[in-house]
Chains A and B, each alone.
Chain A
Amino acid sequence: MRQPELSTAPRSQTRGATFLARFVSGNLRDSELAILLLAPSVVLLVGIMLYPMLNVFLMSLRVQNTLEPSMVTTGFENFSRLLADKRFLDAFTRTIWFGFLTVTGSFLIGLPLALLANLETGWRWLVRVALLLPWAMPQIITGTMFAWMFNSQYGVFNDILVRLGFERIYWLIRPDSATVAFVLTVIWKTSSFVALILLGGLQSIPLELSEAAQVDGATSTQVFWRITLPLLRPAIAVALIFRTLSALQVFDIPYAFMSAGASQSLETLGVYVQKQTVEFTDFGYGSTVSLGLFALSLVITVIYLRFIRPEES
C-alpha cells in the first residue's frame, strides 16, 4: 500500500511542532491519527463489552443464600451449584442440540437459496426482498408470528395438515413437537442470513472459471462440487461462525414461544440466564450461568480458529 505523501504545508507546522499545533493544522503523524481515530471504538467496546464481562467473572463469586436471599457471601459455591443444577445441564445440552440442528438446517436451505438468488432473472428485486425479509424481521416478532401459526387450534400449519388429511399436531405443548416447531422457525429466519453471506461469496467467483470448465466438458454438477464449493469456503466459514455463535445465544424466539404457551422444554441457555438474573434476581448465580454460556462460546470460537480458519495470514 503506497503511503500518501505528506502535505506541502510549511515545515514549521510539521517537524518539531507540538501535538496541538499539528492537530490544528491537520497534519498529525500517522500513529497519532490512528490512536485518535480508533479511540472511540476502543472506548465503546471496552466499556460496553470488556469491562462488563470482567464484572460477570467477579459477580459469579457472589453467593446468595437461596433460603435467605439477603445473605450474601463470597465463594465458589455458585460453581458447584451450577454443575449440580439439572435445569442448567438440560438447558446446556438442549442449546447445543438446537444449535446443531438449526445451523445444519440453515445451511442446507441457505445454500440452494443463494444459488437461486445468484441467477440472473428479471425478478431479482423480488428475490432480494424475499431473502431480506426474514433477516430484517425482529426475532421476537418472528417468534410470535410462528407461535401463532403453530397454534394447535387456530394455526395455519395445523389447518393445512388437517386439510391434507393428517392429524392435528399439538405443536407447542408437547416437547418433541415444540422442538420441531422451534427449529423450523429458526431455520426460516437464519437461512436467509446464510444465503446472503454465501451469495456474496458466489458473486465473487469469476464467471470465466465455470465457463472454462464447461468448455472443457465438465457438467454442472462437477462445476458445483469441484469449483464453486471449494471457492465458497471463506464465505461458508464466516457464515458458520456467526450462525453458530448466535445459535448458542438464542433468546428472543424461545422467549416468544414460551410466552405464547410453549412447554418449558424449549428453555435454552440464553433464556435460563435471563430468568435467573432478571426474574429470580440472583445476580451471582445468574452470572455463573452466563459464564457457562460464555465458556461454550469460547470453546466454539477456539475450535473455529484452530480448525476451520487456520489459513489466517
Chain B
Amino acid sequence: MNSQVRDKTFWQKIMIVVALVVLVVNGVYPLVWIFLTSIKNELELTQVPITYFPQTPNFGNYAQVFQAQPFARFFLNSLVISSLSTVLCVTVAAFAAYALARLRLRYRRIISIIIVAASMFPIVSLIVPLFQIMRGLGWLNTYWSLIIPYATFSLPISTLVLTAFFQGIPEDLESAAMIDGCSRFGALWRVIVPLAAPGVVTAAILAFVNSWNEFLLALTFNSAPDMKTVPVGVMLYQGEFSFPWPLISAAIIITIIPIMVLILIFQRRIISGLTAGGVKG
C-alpha cells in the first residue's frame, strides 16, 4: 500500500518531511561521526569540549591503518572468504530452491521447516564442536574454516529468497521449452537461469553482507596474524589501555566501504530480498 504524499494537507506534509529527515539522520549519523573522527588528530580528540569538525583534516590515519596492522591482508582475506562462501551458498540454495519451487514433493513442507529451523540454532553454541571439526580437518587458519560455515549460515535466507523468486517464474515457460525438445536440465539452463539472475544477485548480496560482517567464528577459527578477517582486524587497534579512536575509526570506514558500495548500487534488490522474506515467511 503506497499512500500518495500529494494528497496530504500542508501540515501533514511538513510533519512527513520532518519525520523523513529524522529517519535519514538516524540511519546515517553514526557513520558520519566516525568519518569525522577518522580525519582528526589524536590530540584534538582529547580536547574538552569536543570538536565536531576537525580543525585540520588529517587523512594520515588511513595510511596508518595499513601500517599499524597488515590490514590489506585482512581485507584480502575477507574478500576471498566472503566471495567464495557467497558463490557456494547461492549455488546450493539455487538447487534447493528449484526443487522446492518446482518439483511436487510430499516432504516439501518438512524440508522448508528444517531449513528455517536451522537458522534458529544459536551459532555461539556451535563454536566448540565446529572448532574441533575444523581442527580435525586441518582447516583452522585457512579460508575453508570460514567459507563452509558462512555458506551454511546464509543458506536459509538465500533459499527463502530464491524459492520465492522461482515461484514467480511461470511454469509454462519450462513446459514450452520441453515441448520444443529440451530435456529437464536443458529447460533449467536455457529458461530458468537467465530469468533468475535478479533473484540470484539479491541472494548473493545478502549472503555476502552476512559473511563480510561475521565476527565470532572469524575471531575463533582464524587467529593466525595473517589469516584474520577485517571485522576481527578492526578490534586489534585497541591497546591494553589505549584506544586510538581516529585510527580505529579509519579502519572502520575502510571496512564498511565494500558494503556501502553494494548498498548504494543495489538498494532496491536488497530490500526486495529482505522483504520477500517477510512476505513469504
Interface residue ranges, A against B (CB under 8 Å): 1-9, 25-28, 30-31, 33-34, 36-38, 40-41, 44-45, 47-53, 55-56, 59, 112-113, 116-121, 123, 125-142, 144-146, 148-149, 153-156, 159, 162-163, 188, 192-193, 196-207, 209-210, 228, 234-235, 237-239, 241-242, 245, 248-249, 251-252, 255-256, 259-260, 270, 273-274, 277-278, 283, 286-287, 290-291, 293-294, 297, 301
Contact = CB atoms under 8 A, between A and B. Distances in A.
30 contacts: A7-B181, A8-B178, A30-B104, A37-B98, A51-B129, A56-B126, A116-B16, A116-B20, A121-B5, A127-B24, A130-B24, A131-B27, A132-B267, A134-B27, A136-B259, A137-B213, A138-B215, A138-B255, A144-B248, A145-B34, A148-B243, A154-B48, A154-B50, A188-B26, A192-B27, A234-B278, A234-B281, A277-B127, A287-B128, A297-B122
Contacts of A207: 1-3
Given A137-B256, A159-B50, A290-B122, A4 B175 contact: yes
Judged by DSSP, the binding face of A is helix
Contacts of A235: 278-279, 281
Interface in B70-129: 91-93, 95-96, 98-99, 102-105, 111, 114-115, 117-129
Given A53-B126, A273-B125, A293-B125, A200 B274 contact: yes
B62 interface: no
Contact of A274 (B16, B34, B114, B127): B127
Most buried by B among A59, A132, A270: A132
Interface of B: 1-5, 16, 19-20, 23-24, 26-28, 30-31, 33-34, 37, 45-46, 48-50, 91-93, 95-96, 98-99, 102-105, 111, 114-115, 117-130, 132-133, 148-149, 151-153, 155, 159, 171-172, 174-175, 178-179, 181-187, 209, 212-216, 220, 231, 234-235, 238, 243, 245, 248-249, 252, 255-256, 259-260, 262-264, 267-268, 270-271, 274-279, 281
B2 A203 contact: yes
6 smallest A-B Cβ distances: which pairs?
Answer: A200-B275, A130-B27, A26-B183, A290-B125, A52-B129, A138-B213
B1 A49 contact: no
A200 B273 CA distance: 9
Contact of A26 (B5, B148, B185): B185
Given A44-B92, A145-B252, 20 more contacts: A2-B171, A4-B175, A4-B187, A27-B183, A37-B98, A41-B155, A52-B126, A53-B125, A53-B129, A130-B28, A133-B28, A133-B31, A139-B215, A140-B235, A154-B45, A159-B49, A203-B2, A248-B122, A259-B238, A283-B128
Contact of A40 (B26, B92, B124, B174): B92
B263 A119 contact: no
Contacts of A188: 26, 30
Contacts, number: 327
A256 B238 CA distance: 11
A47 B92 CA distance: 14
Contact of A25 (B30, B92, B183, B187): B183
Contacts of B259: 136-137
Contacts of A133: 27-28, 31, 260, 263
A293 B128 CA distance: 14
A260 B178 CA distance: 62
Contacts of A159: 49-50
B279 A120 contact: no
Contact of A55 (B119, B120, B129, B171): B129
